């Protein structure tokens, strides 16, 4: 069955037609804060091959949606109730469901969740050390994100190397790590929201929760001001004034050097923590826009991970395009660059629900 994979973001609606295990056509429709013109979407769809089903990337499935689900009456409203857990992403996903659903009203649609891959985290990795009531009443736990990318990249790594212990570094505008042991995610860096974990383009990653309280109690900032700063004015843009890793790498000024240093410091520490969750690592995978294209980031990360057995060949690393193995031959940890293919993983989930 040919599947249309829909990946809705605040700046674009990405449409990819997947046949078998490979995309056969792709197009991107520009968006203004997650809003698309119906005519532009219909025009884009008209230029794509006919499909038998649609799969939508949805960032947050909460506690209820732990596997792909057919989009039927009531499901969208339950997804809308989760928007507060991923305010930068969930509204765009819902807008994509609406606009494509109107354009293709007779085609079955399935929601595929970024949180689902992490739904089976061991309890010790999933739970925060906070009052039990928070879990019971509000579902406070570590959900994890980028699951579609982590699922695809970890499966690709096992096919490539056969190693059972995989650390996936999804490094894009958002960034997260996962520890995947024999196909099961046993730890990850993002938590209750996509704000926890690594340094990102505009997001801070993990900060002391006491800082959030202090900023509101003593600095006089509102909850909205703190949230906006941590989500949109932190990370690389907060340290270097730009969210573009290419610019950070190219610049030599103190701010850019610091930004890269902080980014890599957190990345190395996170990889080591993921390896610890599995008792070691067989394969390290870099994926996402930064992971696939920033050889400097891969090289700098590996430079501090030699104690785990990670060794990257600088010449091969600098020359890889698309996918490739960048590790030194014979290194105890295989190091790969894998192209992010959430669309292929979405199509896999759709077929699992609908058959075909």
Residue 252 maps to which CATH number? 3.30.420.40
Burial of 103 (0-12, 13-18, 19+ CB in 10 A): middle
Tally of helices (H runs) and strands (E runs) in the chain: 15, 12
Identify whether 216 is part of a domain. Answer: yes
Residues 316, 188 within the same domain: yes
For position 36, what pLDDT does the model report? 75
Identify whether 349 is part of a domain. Answer: no
Residues 99, 193 within the same domain: no
* Per-position pLDDT tens, the chain of length 356: 999 999 987 678 899 999 998 999 999 998 776 677 888 888 999 999 999 999 999 999 999 999 999 998 789 889 988 887 777 778 888 888 998 999 999 999 999 999 999 999 999 999 999 999 999 999 999 999 999 999 999 999 999 999 999 999 999 999 999 999 999 999 999 999 999 999 999 999 999 999 999 999 999 999 999 999 999 999 999 999 999 999 999 999 999 999 999 999 999 999 999 999 999 999 999 999 999 999 999 999 999 999 999 999 999 999 998 899 999 999 999 999 999 999 999 999 999 999 87
Last residue of some domain: 113, 147, 174? 113
Longest dimension (CA), the chain: 58
Instruction: Return all residues near 310 (Cβ < 8 A) that are at least 6 apart.
Output: 271, 281, 284, 302, 327, 331, 333, 335
Domain membership of residue 200 as a residue range: 161-337
| CA 340 – CA 337 distance, rounded (Å) | 9
How many domains does the chain divide into?
Answer: 2
Residues 247, 326 within the same domain: yes
Identify whether 297 is part of a domain. Answer: yes
For position 338, what pLDDT does the model report? 98
Residues 21, 91 within the same domain: yes
- Rounded to 5 degrees, φ, ψ at 269 are -60, -40
Identify whether 72 is part of a domain. Answer: yes
Residues facing 16 on adjacent strands: 5, 26
Identify whether 104 is part of a domain. Answer: yes
Of residues 19, 99, 118, the one with CA closest to residue 59: 118
Residues facing 55 on adjacent strands: 5, 110
- Rounded to 5 degrees, φ, ψ at 117 are -65, -25
For position 33, what pLDDT does the model report? 65
CB contact at 8 A, 349 and 68: yes
The sheet with strand 53-58 has its strands ordered as 22-30, 12-19, 3-8, 53-58, 108-113, 69-70
In this prediction the pTM is 0.95
Identify whether 47 is part of a domain. Answer: yes
Residues 178, 313 within the same domain: yes
Residues 209, 88 within the same domain: no
Residues 97, 204 within the same domain: no
Residues 171, 69 within the same domain: no
Residues 108, 169 within the same domain: no
| CA 3 – CA 69 distance, rounded (Å) | 15
Last residue of some domain: 113, 132, 148? 113
Out of 114, 282, 313, 343, the active site residue is 114
Identify whether 175 is part of a domain. Answer: yes
| CA 131 – CA 200 distance, rounded (Å) | 29
Residues 170, 313 within the same domain: yes
Q: Is 143 left (phi over 0), alpha (psi -120 to 50) or beta?
A: alpha
Q: Measured at the alpha carbon of residue 139, what is the angle toward residues 122 and 81, in degrees to the nearest 5?
A: 130
CB contact at 8 A, 163 and 335: no
Active site includes 114?
A: yes
Identify whether 84 is part of a domain. Answer: yes
Last residue of some domain: 96, 113, 130? 113
């Amino acid at each position: 069955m040919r599947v249309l994979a829909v990946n809705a973001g605040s700046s674009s609606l990405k449409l990819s037609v997947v046949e078998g295990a490979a995309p056969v056509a792709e197009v991107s429709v520009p968006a203004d804060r997650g809003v698309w013109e119906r005519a532009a979407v219909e025009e884009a769809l008209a230029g794509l091959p006919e499909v038998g089903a649609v799969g939508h990337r949805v960032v947050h499935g909460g506690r209820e949606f732990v596997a792909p689900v057919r989009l039927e009456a009531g499901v969208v409203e339950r997804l809308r109730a989760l928007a507060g857990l991923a305010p930068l992403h969930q509204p765009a996903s819902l807008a994509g469901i609406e606009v494509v659903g109107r354009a293709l009203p007779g085609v079955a649609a399935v929601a595929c969740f970024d949180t689902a891959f992490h739904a089976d985290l061991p309890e010790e990795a999933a739970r925060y050390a906070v009052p039990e009531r928070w879990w019971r009443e509000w579902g406070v736990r570590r959900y994890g994100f980028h699951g579609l990318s982590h699922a695809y990249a970890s499966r690709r790594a096992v096919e490539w190397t056969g190693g059972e212990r995989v650390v996936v570094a999804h490094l894009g505008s958002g960034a997260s790590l996962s520890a995947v042991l024999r196909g099961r995610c046993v730890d990850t860096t993002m938590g209750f929201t996509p704000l926890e974990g690594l340094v990102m383009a505009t997001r801070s990653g993990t900060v002391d929760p006491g800082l959030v309280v202090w900023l509101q109690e003593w600095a006089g900032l509102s909850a909205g001001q703190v949230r906006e700063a941590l989500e949109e004015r932190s990370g690389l843009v907060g340290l270097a004034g730009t969210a573009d890793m290419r610019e950070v790498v190219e610049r030599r000024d103190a701010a850019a050097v610091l930004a890269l240093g902080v980014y890599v410091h957190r990345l190395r520490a996170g990889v080591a923590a993921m390896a610890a969750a599995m008792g070691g690592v067989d394969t390290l995978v870099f994926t996402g826009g930064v992971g696939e294209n920033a050889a400097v980031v891969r090289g700098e990360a590996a430079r501090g991970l030699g104690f785990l057995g990670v060794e990257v060949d600088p010449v091969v690393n600098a020359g890889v395009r698309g996918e490739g193995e960048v590790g030194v031959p014979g290194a105890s940890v295989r190091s790969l660059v894998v192209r992010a293919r959430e669309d292929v993983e979405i199509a896999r989930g759709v077929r699992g629900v609908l058959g075909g």
